[in-house]
Structure 1
Amino acid sequence: MAGDGRVLERALDTLDDVFYVYDASGRLIHWNRRLNELFGLSDAELDGMLPMEFFEEADQPAVEAAMADIFETGETVVEAWAETTQGRVRFELTGRLLTDGDGSMLGFAGVGRDVTDRREQAWHLAKQNERLEEFADVLAHDLRSPLAVANGYLELTQTTGETGHLADIAAAHERMEHIIEDVRTATREGALAADVEPVDLAAVTGEAWETVETDGEALELPSELIVDADARRLRRLFENLFRNCVDHGSTEYRPVTVRVVATDRGFAVEDDGPGIDPADREAVFDPGISRGDGGTGFGLYIVRTIAEAHGWSVTVTGGDEGGARFEFDLRGAA
């Protein structure tokens, strides 16, 4: 039997999943080597740990509740994020109650499986479905206005024979073309980022800034900041974001300064312009929303779709100097 026990232990050590056993007080008493590898802890350090201690603070209450479910119902399944030696991992955790012959509770056992990729794919699919609904609404709503303008002037021209409104008809058609092109761009750039590699943020943002029409505006960059991203799409993200900062942050008397800064969870882009009214901040990323004349309202929407294609999230707040601050959380697909 002792030999069988060693074979079983070695078999468990070959698993890519984490195997664990907890006693009736919820303390870790047995595990496979995968747990040591993922958390960089020795046997002495792991012995007696509580389940919650492995996971991020935000997910600890869910793990604690799942442990209570095991003792109440006999089993549970829960997902939680953890920082590991292989990066941030989303685990699917199972638990089954262990009892002895007379039904006395001994503890519970289970498996922790890395479901990060599955979770991110589901997240991306949900976002893409949201975008399809948004595109349909945009095309139905935003195209209606310039189409009505073009049809009105066309009818007037046909009725009177005067050609003075042909330029107005052409302008309406041009706006429809811009809206359609921006929808196409958002569709392409919102696809899952495929060519992800370490990217020097300072280099990409410098290239993006060169495409923006400036008149005294300035860009300040961090000395070094490397992120895993699709460089081409990331450049387009900054091009759209910088144009927004320059167009809406600068005034006739004071050109805006734009800063790219590192944060605990990624990076932020902020300016020292007038900022965005708190009441408008949730809506600025919606398609078709424009705070200026002549825009289609897709600039910040494209910024958001590119961020989400990387599995990031983006929010807007007030900057340190009163302007707008766009914060990119590279751990956004939670």
Structure 2
Amino acid sequence: MDDQCRVLAAALETLDDVFYVYDTDGRLAYWNARLNELFGLTDSELSGMDPTEFFVADDRAAVEAAIAEVFESGQTTVEARAETTEGVVTFELSGRLLTADDGTVQGFSGVGRDITDRREREWHLQRQNERLTEFADLLAHDLRTPLAVTSGHLELAAEELSPERIDAARDGLQRLESIINDLRTATREGALATDEQAVDIADVATTAWNHVETGSAVLEPPPPIPVEADPKRLLRLFENIFINAVTHGPVRDDRVSDEERKAGTTDITVRLVPTADGFAVEDDGRGIDPDDREWVFEPGASRAADGTGFGLYIVRAIAEAHGWTVRATAGEHGGARFEFDIDADTAC
């Protein structure tokens, strides 16, 4: 063995992962000491072993399929569990075909990486998401029943109470309904997979604008921006962005009445623009304080008396469900700007 081979062999022995080489018959030909440690076997016992012998019965078929794949396509990746000296370990197993200079197949090599902790974390996160969704559904159900009863009594009381008191009570009930809807959305949007297809963001944004009470606010005609996205989720994203702009965007003016501000009758212009990394939505309103630009995406974040605080949280959840990122910054005219970065393989 020359010096380079010795250095390579020594380097492989330092790995926390298992390294292995199998011959053309699928028999173990070379490995590092980590394999001996994990299975408590000597070199003579390991020599010539079949790959499936290491793994639990339920996962052996997947390992066999992976071996066939590496000889057919040149590479493979599979997950499988094994009983080891350290307990049950979930391995991520790779395989790459080994060939001589003349193209003759000599076997395959690969690495077995312990991903047990990662899978455990993913499982616990999934269970937490499921419990959160169950809680939100239960809460929504339990709240809507008394809301319906209260609404019925309110209509009967309208004959005796002043219109102002009735309107105030109705506003309170509508706010509770909004909170319920946003709570259920917030617990679902980030966890569920998206049904992506080719869509034009301009079309979805225009439809969303027509769904929102915008008063005298204006959406400049957006340019075509084709992406791969879930149209329904994208529609909700733009609805929430536009509601935020119309509700929180107008510049404060003491001459504007609370009724006008609530009705969204103050002027504001919203623009949808393509960027090098995706697209952005910006307005010419009062903008977002630099210290609040990350906080606004947190659940319950709202400075408006009638806000639910889930609007921009849902926007971020939908963006992340697509593999995108979103950040708040300043617009060209000093208003709020939300920049969406899309992965290179997401854009059309």
Normalising by structure 1, report the TM-score: 0.52
Q: C-alpha separation between the residues in 2 aligned to 1:236 and 1:76?
A: 44
Taking the TM superposition and a 5 Å limit, the aligned residue runs for 1:177-188 are 177-188=177-188
Partner of 2:199: 199
The aligned amino acid for 1:211 is H
Secondary structure in structure 2 of the residue aligned to 1:284: helix
Structure 2's unaligned 5+ residue stretches are: 19-91, 96-108, 151-159, 257-265
Match of 2:277 among 265, 276, 287: 265
Please say if 1:295 is aligned against 2:236: no
Aligned-residue offset at 1:94 = 7.6
Please say if 1:73 is aligned against 2:32: no
Q: C-alpha separation between the residues in 2 aligned to 1:127 and 1:307?
A: 22
Encode CA deviations 1:189-235: one digit per residue, 9 max, x unaligned.
33423321011011111111112223332223553211111101101
Secondary structure in structure 2 of the residue aligned to 1:316: strand
Say if 1:298 and 1:272 are closer, same or farther in 2 by CA, change over 3 A: same
Q: C-alpha separation between the residues in 1 aligned to 2:341 and 2:225?
A: 14
Aligned-residue offset at 1:128 = 7.0
Partner of 1:238: 238
Q: C-alpha separation between the residues in 2 aligned to 1:131 and 1:318?
A: 37
Say if 1:123 and 1:176 are closer, same or farther in 2 by CA, change over 3 A: same
Please say if 1:255 is aligned against 2:267: yes
Partner of 2:224: 224
Please say if 1:317 is aligned against 2:329: yes
The aligned amino acid for 2:305 is D
Partner of 1:304: 316
Contact 2:93 2:111 in 1 (8 A): yes
Q: C-alpha separation between the residues in 1 aligned to 2:277 and 2:124?
A: 20
Contact 1:124 1:309 in 2 (8 A): no
Match of 1:278 among 274, 278, 290: 290
Contact 1:124 1:308 in 2 (8 A): no
The aligned amino acid for 1:224 is P
Contact 1:221 1:261 in 2 (8 A): no
Partner of 1:7: none
Q: C-alpha separation between the residues in 1 aligned to 2:244 and 2:111?
A: 48
Encode CA deviations 1:130-160: one digit per residue, 9 max, x unaligned.
9939x88xx8xxx9xxx9xx9xxxxxxxxxx
Contact 1:205 1:238 in 2 (8 A): yes
Q: C-alpha separation between the residues in 1 aligned to 2:279 and 2:123?
A: 21
Secondary structure in structure 1 of the residue aligned to 2:227: strand
Q: C-alpha separation between the residues in 1 aligned to 2:297 and 2:339?
A: 13
Contact 1:271 1:323 in 2 (8 A): yes
Taking the TM superposition and a 5 Å limit, the aligned residue runs for 1:1-334 are 73-74=14-15, 129=129, 132=132, 167=166, 172-251=172-251, 255-331=267-343
The aligned amino acid for 2:243 is R
Aligned-residue offset at 1:301 = 1.7
Q: C-alpha separation between the residues in 2 aligned to 1:73 and 1:208?
A: 57
Partner of 2:35: none
Contact 2:209 2:242 in 1 (8 A): yes
The aligned amino acid for 1:209 is W
Contact 1:240 1:300 in 2 (8 A): yes
Aligned-residue offset at 1:174 = 4.4
Aligned-residue offset at 1:248 = 1.5
Encode CA deviations 1:245-290: one digit per residue, 9 max, x unaligned.
1222124686222111222322111112111001111111122222
Say if 1:112 and 1:217 are closer, same or farther in 2 by CA, change over 3 A: farther
Q: C-alpha separation between the residues in 2 aligned to 1:128 and 1:281?
A: 27
Contact 2:279 2:339 in 1 (8 A): yes
Say if 1:198 and 1:111 are closer, same or farther in 2 by CA, change over 3 A: farther
Encode CA deviations 1:28-67: one digit per residue, 9 max, x unaligned.
xxxxxxxxxxxxxxxxxxxxxxxxxxxxxxxxxxxxxxx9
Contact 2:222 2:272 in 1 (8 A): yes
Say if 1:203 and 1:304 are closer, same or farther in 2 by CA, change over 3 A: same
Contact 1:197 1:229 in 2 (8 A): yes
Say if 1:94 and 1:132 are closer, same or farther in 2 by CA, change over 3 A: same
Aligned-residue offset at 1:173 = 4.7
Contact 2:270 2:281 in 1 (8 A): yes
Contact 1:193 1:230 in 2 (8 A): no
Q: Number of residue pairs matched?
A: 224
Out of 172-181 and 268-277, give the one that drifted further: 172-181
Normalising by structure 2, report the TM-score: 0.50
The structure with the larger Rg is: 2
Contact 2:223 2:273 in 1 (8 A): no
Secondary structure in structure 2 of the residue aligned to 1:247: helix
